Each structure stands twice: as structure tokens, then as C-alpha cells.
Amino acid sequence: MTAAARAPAGATWRRGVLPGLLPVLVLLALGYLVPMGAVLWTSLHRGGVFGFEAYAEVFGSPTVLHILMRTLWTAAGVTLLCLLVGYPFAYVVATRSGRWAGLFLGLVAVPYLTSVLIRSYAWVAILGGNGLVNQMLLELGLVTEPLALVFNSTGSVIGMVHILLPMLVLPIYASMQRIDPVLLLAARSLGGHPASVFVTVFLPLSSPGVIAGCALVFLSALGFYITPALLGSPGDYLVAQAIEVRVSTLAEFDVASAQACLLLLLVGGALFLLRHRLTGVAEGEGGKRSVAASRGDGLRRSALDSWLPRPSWPGAVLERLAPLAGPALWLLAGLVLVFLLAPMLVVVVVAFSNAPYLTFPPPGYSGRWFAAFWADSRWLEAAVFSVAVSTVAAVTALLVASPLAFALARRRFRGRQLLWLLAISPMIVPHIVIALGLFFTFVGLRLNGSPVTFWIAYTVTGVPYVVIIMLSALRRFDVRIEQAGASLGGTPLAVFRTVTLPLLRVPFLSSFFFAFLVAFDDLIISLFLSSPRGTTLAMRMWEDIRLEISPKTAVVGTIQLVVLLTVMLGVALSGAQRR
Amino acid sequence: MTHEWRRRHLLRTSAMAALGLATAGRLAAPAVAKDLKGTGTVIVYDGGGAMGAAQRKAYSEPFEAETGIKVVHQAGVPAGVQRAAILAGAPKHDVANISGGALASFAQEGLLTPIDYGWWEQADRDGYDLVPASTFASPAMLYSMLVVFDRSRFKDKAPGSWVDIWNVRDFPGRRSLAAGTNAADGATFEIALMADGVPPDKLYPLDWERALRSLDRLRAEVVKWWANGAESVQLLVDKQSSAGSAWNGRVDGANEQGATLGTSWNQGILQWAGWAVPKGAANVENAMKYIAFMSRPEPQARFSDLITYGPTNARAFRYMTAERTALMPTAPQFKRLQIVQDYTFWNQADANGVNGLKRAVMEWERWVTSRR
């Protein structure tokens, strides 16, 4: 890393970039480019004959284009909603929660602890016609008829925002917690009202996190189909569902591939055009720009700058509202936590149900479903397998993709913009299409049935998270701190360990966290890769609840919650001891 | 190849006949069954949940005990994934379970190995009366998409046909039906046509436009178009919906656990899934033996005792109680009330080369995105 700091200008592939990037290049070539090549090939062949029939079918159908456009609008809307709710929440956590920040962040992860099927069931129990919310509203006399909160677009959006919000909160928090309070103090001392200081200083400084978070949410939302199918109306039909039904039910691989390629082209093209606003990729021709970009002078040059009006009037409005800010923020943070945790509470209650089937509220309580879980060794084996492959893949993704993020942020070499697009594009293509391509590739490589396939696949799906989160973190990273360390005689490794790593702890951890979760939560890829030598927990749960939703799945979620809380407690305690 | 099988089959049956004479005193004792002993393993589809448990008890455990072949259960995958796996040369199972709606295309495209009926008793093969055991597949189980309702809501008069499901004045309450993306398996298009007055024997070829117009009439009453079997019953148990469609096995499963759902066999749509051996399977002979074992009446009866999927070999009813038989969609007294879904229609390509499955998905996508 210090090599980069010393000679950021004019780096070329030969001078130093290649060795660090070799692992990620090999990985993306094998685990993404080759499979996507197979997908492209598939989209251009029908019955073994080359042709454009699949594309003609896609473009010839107003319905498909309509679904594609709706998907883009839905993803944009969900992103905006997440931002409106998530930004103030991250703000509270980063600036007001003090030593409780760790707890808040841990709780943000809770939505990921259950399978999508039982999570959706919990939402139905909360939002349904005789659900908790409607019962409460009726009881209070606020409504006379139950509100339609689920099985329509409202339900679909609630379900999507719930699971995507953490992806927005963590990157924003990461960029907020590294904003130097001295800058804010300086602005205050120059006579700035806190509200103006927020708008002119804090907001721009947090913009890399905002951009990273929005990118993660938007790109993830493009691939959603189970949540809209379970909580929405048939009209909430998104392109990933159209692709899924073409692969799973119709086995029309050419049309599915063509739709995926079109989606990739549309979204990838848009990202490429917006790359200067979106990325922290080093820009310009001379060396100065990249040093400047990393030096924290983004106050003047932030990407958000050009989008925001000059901050005088929002500052003025906020100044009037300032006295209300504290209580309002805490109220909002509380509501967000309730929103994030409510389905999990339903799941925990259901896990202790004594009913033989899923019903909420349960008629009584017992530990029978926990006993059933422990009695079945196949579930435990699957749980161990899932944790193992997800951990190994997330660590690998972090190890191979972080150098890419550092190189993209600090060095200018030919093709870096395309490399950035390549690294994040596994998030754009619906996973079922990647899975299809990967499967054919692995069989061709005679790897079929080996746990190595899971490792490669989940590393590929983890890379975009690492790149997006690390790039946003590095945009505000002051290279001179590292240079100072090096000038004091630190070896590159020592500088990395004692300077870089501690400063980037939160982005590293959140990258790992999402890379792990996207693997742990995956069902689609595992449907293709599973074999007697490896079956994931997500697949066991799916297998068990395809026909009937049993409370056993709720047990899995509850155990995961306990594990998470234990880890958080452990971290908090060890932190306290160090202090 | 078929000659060789026939010869082998004849040889074996004559040998068995001789054996049978010797043991005629012990009628239908397992000892007269063909010798399926072998070595190695066989990887079989596992239906998960209650179905997987029933498979293990009724088929896999006794098969292992009798033959010495180790059975490995592997989670099932959607038909499209299985097809991709066969195309890649690495099928997921030696013994696959493929829904009848998808089977025809698997067979047409040469993705399956013909079933070796040499391991079967002729009487058992003859017992497949409703859906015959064919070249590439042995029917695994029969189930039916039924009119289902919440008994607590319809105490005096319950819906007994699809017309009744559409009649919200006399049978008030929200509805739940399969989403059209389930294509043949959801049976929603057949249901919509019968609700519109199409007689069961005039259903095929399906009139897509008429089906959608019929669905238009019910659209506002449908609380949820269900995506999977679990949901179909959960919506009723949670009282989100008061009537609709669901598979008989799902309803019985819920009722065994205390739910109070009612069904009507009238206008039920009989569907089936078949056991098949994918091309490229690693343990073909063991797979053939396992399928032969599952064709026997005793294991089938045991399977249907554990889960209410109808036996495909009618001889199995001899080993079942009258009460249990009355729960089976293939019980003699219910057969005539129902319609066997026409999978040939569903897999036939129309003038534009589009088969029924694809047409259903396309029509459904058009319907949900354009009509309000």
C-alpha cells in the first residue's frame, strides 16, 4: 500500500498493479467472465443454432420491456425510501449513540438472520388483514376496516426496504464515523449554525457512503423476486422473477439469458456513464488529482456537490427546525429499530410455539421445535457447511478484492473503469443466471459436486460488496497518514497493520459482513451446486418449507440471533476491558 | 436394446413363475418378489419435509435392508435446474422426480434413460391403471388440485365446484388461487375455464382468452395468488383467505395438525409426478432397482399411509384401510369426479412453436402487467 502512496502517478500494469490484482483477475475470469460467456452464448443459440431469436422475443414483447422498466423504477423507489429512512438513522448511530453504536449496528443486521420465506411469513402476521398492525389500529378506533398493507405494492416495498436498509446504513455509518469532529468544530467556531454546518460540511463528507449505500441497495433490488412474489400482488412482478420462471419452470435458458444480458447492458451502461459521480476510482491524467481526491478536500469536490443546491436555504430551514432535531432523530431511530426487529420478534415467538404448524400468535409455548432441530443431524451438517463456505468465501473476497479497491482508488492504469464495472457487475446479473453459467463452467472443469465450487461462486458474489464499500471508504482516506507512518521507518506491512487497518476497521468489517451474508443467505446458487458432498442450510430450509412452513425454520433464525447477540456481547466486553 | 430387455424380462419372469409355484402357499409374500440385491449406492430425489420422511420410511429403509444398496437422499431441485444438470452431463439424482407437466419435454429431448421394466412384476405394471408406467417414467404419486375452504366460515353450505369459488355472493370471503407462473402445476387456467362453465371434457385445448376473462371477474376478490404449496394452505390457516385452490396432500397435512379445512373432490384436477432416470446418471442399475422396488404395492401402501399422495399402482389399495383409502385422490369412488390434467396439451407447441407452459407464463405476465 505504501508503494502506492509513494508513486501514485502514472502507474501502469507492469509497474506494480498486476501482482496485487492477479488473484482477483483470475477469480473474476474463472468465476464470472467464463460463466457469463456461457450465458451470452446461450442467449445467442436456440436449438444449437446461432441466432437472435431470444433477443427478438424479448424486444418483441411489450410485456417484458414493461417488466424491465418497472423493475428499474421499483429499485429506484426502494433506494430512495431506504435513503430517507436510513440516512438519519445512520446519523444517530454515528453521532449520538456513543458506546452503544456497536449494539445498534448489530441490530441492523438482524433482518438477515432468517430465511426469506419465514421472514415474509412474519410480515404477513404483522401486516395482514388480522395482523398485529390492523388489530392495533382497529382497537384504537383509528380505522373501521382493516387496511390492505400486504399482498400489494405496499407489502412488497415494506419487505424490500426491510431487508435492504442494512446495506444502506452500514456504508453511510462507515463514512460518517470517520468524519473528523475537528472539522465540524472548526465550522462552528467560524460562526456556522449546527444546521448549516451539517449541510455544508457533514453532508458532503458523508456522500461517499451515501453513494456506496445507494448503489448496493439499487443493485440488490434489481435481483429481487421472492419477496415481491410473497408479499406483493401479481402486478409487482419484477424481471428477476421473469428470468427465474424461465430457468426453473420453462427451462428456456436462451430467453432467460437474453433478458439477463439486456439487464446487464442497461444497468452496466448507466453505471459506466455515471462512473465519475459514482466511483472513488482514481481520475484524471496527471498524478495530482488522485492524491488530492484522497486527501479529504472533497469538501469542495464532493460528488453530491453538483447535485445539491447551494446550501443556504436548506441550512436556513434546518436552523428553524434545529431544536426539534434531537428528539425527532431519536424517535426516528427508535421506529427504524422497531421496523427492523419486528419480524424477528415474530420469528422468535413462533420458534417457541407448541403448535404443530405455523400460526401466530401460537396457542402455547414449548421447546419441541428446538428438540426437532437438534435431533436432525442433516440440519446441523448443513448449518456447519453453510457457515464454513460462507466464511471462507467472505475472507477470500476480502483478501482478493481489497487490493483491487486500493488500486482503483489510488492508481491510474489503463482499463480501471472497466475493471471497476466488471468487479461490481456480479451484483447486476440475477444470481440464477450466474448460477446457470457457473454450473456449466464447473462441470466443464470437472469440479462438479466439490465444495470448491461454493467457495468460488460465493467469493464472486462477495467481491462487489467489498469493492463498493472499500472504495467509498478510501475516497476520504488521507494517504499522508500512511506516508507519515512510512517516513517514520515503518515497513509496508507494519504501516498497514498499525495505520491502515485500524482506520478502515469498519469498512473491512462491513465488507466481510455483507460478503458473508450474501453467501449464507443464498438459495439460488446452491440449488445448482448442491450435491451429497455439500448442501447449504438455506437449501435445507427451502426443502423443508416448500410444501409446509414449519416452525423449525423459525428455530434456525432464533439460534442465529442468539449467536449474533453473543458475538456482539463478546466484542462489547472485550472492548470494555481494553479501555 | 428393447429386445434384450424383453428377453431378460421373460427369462426372469419364467424363473420367478417357477419360484412362485414353489411358494404358492405364501400368497404375496415379499419372498416371491424379484431379487434386487446389489452393491454401491443410489442417489434419489428427496421431497423434503413430510414427503422426504415418508420416502425414507416407505421406500429407502426397506430397500436398503432388502438389497444392500445404500440410498443417498439428495434435496430436489426445480425442473429447469435438473434439465440444466442433465445437459451439462451431471444430473442431480440417479432417481429424479419430475412433475408430469415437465416430463414430456424431458423425454422428447432425450434427457432420460428408458425404465428397465425387467426388474418389475408384470402384475405391478398392470396395476398402473390411471396413469400407465411409460417408456421413460414410472408415475410416482397422484395428487389433486381441489376446491378448498375454511370449514369455520362455511358451516351450512360449502363451495363444491369452481363455479362456487367464483360466486362470492353465496360464498362470501376472500379467495386464493395459484399464480399463473406455476403454469400447469397451478392448474389456474383449467380452474378459470370450469368456473366459466366449460364442461370438464371440453377443457382442452385451453381457451386462454376465455380463461383470462374469467380470472378478470375474480381478480378483485383474490387476496393472494399463491406462489408455492406451503402458501396455499397457510393463507387459509391464517384466515387471510376463506376459499380457493390447494393440493389435497397439503390440506390433509394441515388438517392432521389441527387445521379445519374442507375440500371437495368435485372438479378436482388430478396431477402426477414421475420417477425417471436422467441420462448420465452414475448408478443406472441401482436406480432401476429402486424404481422397481417403489412399484410394489406394499411400499406404496406404506407411503400413502404416511402422506396422502395416492398410490399409482392400484394394487396398493389392497394393503390400505378403508379410512385411509377414502383420503386418496385415486380412491375408486373419487376418480370419476376428477379430471386428469392433460400434460400432452401442456407440452404441445402451437402454430408459433410455443408450448402450453410457455404460453401460460406469457399470458399471465401480460395479464398482470396490463389489465387492472
d(CA B338, CA B335): 6
Q: Average pLDDT in the A434-461 region?
A: 93
The per-type count for chain A, helices as H runs and strands as E runs, is 32, 2
Give the burial class of A153: count Cβ atoms within 10 A of its Cβ; 0-12 exposed, 13-18 middle, 19 or more buried.
middle
Tell me if B265 sits within 8 A of B183, measured CB to CB.
no
- The three cell numbers of residue A547 are 410444501
d(CA B234, CA B241): 9
Give tens-digit pLDDT for A123-166: 999 999 888 999 999 999 999 988 999 999 999 999 999 999 99
For residue A526, what are the contacts with CB-CB under 8 A and spacing of at least 6?
A454, A535, A536, A538, A539
Which helix (DSSP H) or strand (DSSP E) does residue A374 occupy?
helix A368-375
Q: Average pLDDT in the A10-31 region?
A: 80
Check residue B60 and give its pLDDT. Answer: 98
pLDDT at B144 over 90: yes
Q: Average pLDDT in the B16-23 region?
A: 42
Give the burial class of B357: count Cβ atoms within 10 A of its Cβ; 0-12 exposed, 13-18 middle, 19 or more buried.
buried
d(CA A208, CA A506): 14
Residues of chain A above pLDDT 70, percent? 88
Helix, strand, or coil (residue B75) = strand
- The three cell numbers of residue B126 are 398392470
Check residue B205 and give its pLDDT. Answer: 95
pLDDT at A551 over 90: no
Check residue B31 and give its pLDDT. Answer: 43
Is pLDDT larger for residue A16 or for residue A357? A357
Q: From B274, B286, B322, B276, select the one nearest B301 (Cα to Cα).
A: B322
Q: Which chain A residue's Cα is nearest to B181?
A: A245
Give tens-digit pLDDT for A365-376: 999 989 988 888
Residue A313: pLDDT band with limits 50, 70, 90: low
Give tens-digit pLDDT for B62-75: 999 999 999 999 98
Instruction: Flag the least confident range among A263-277, B138-152, B177-191, B200-214.
Output: A263-277
Q: Which chain B residue's Cα is nearest to A440?
A: B88
d(CA A136, CA A130): 10
Q: Which chain B residue's Cα is nearest to A225?
A: B227
Check residue A15 and give its pLDDT. Answer: 62
Q: State the average pLDDT for chain A.
A: 85
Flag if A543 and B357 touch (Cβ within 8 Å).
Answer: no
Residue A232: pLDDT band with limits 50, 70, 90: very high
Check residue A544 and give its pLDDT. Answer: 73
pLDDT at B13 over 70: no
Check residue B9 and give its pLDDT. Answer: 47
As for the ipTM of the complex, it is 0.86
Flag if B240 and A436 touch (Cβ within 8 Å).
Answer: no
Give tens-digit pLDDT for A78-115: 999 999 999 999 999 998 887 778 788 888 888 887 77
Quote the minimal CA–CA distance from A90 to chain B in Å: 35
pLDDT at A37 over 70: yes
Flag if B369 and A235 touch (Cβ within 8 Å).
Answer: yes
Check residue A13 and give its pLDDT. Answer: 59
Flag if A249 and B181 touch (Cβ within 8 Å).
Answer: yes
Residue A502: pLDDT band with limits 50, 70, 90: confident
Check residue B247 and give its pLDDT. Answer: 94
Check residue A315 and give its pLDDT. Answer: 66
Give tens-digit pLDDT for B227-268: 988 889 999 998 999 999 999 988 998 898 889 999 999 999
Question: Closest to A248 (Cβ–Cβ): which among B74, B81, B249?
Answer: B81
In A8-23, which positions are buried (b, 16+ CB within 10 angstroms) versus exposed (e)?
Answer: beebeeeebbeebbeb
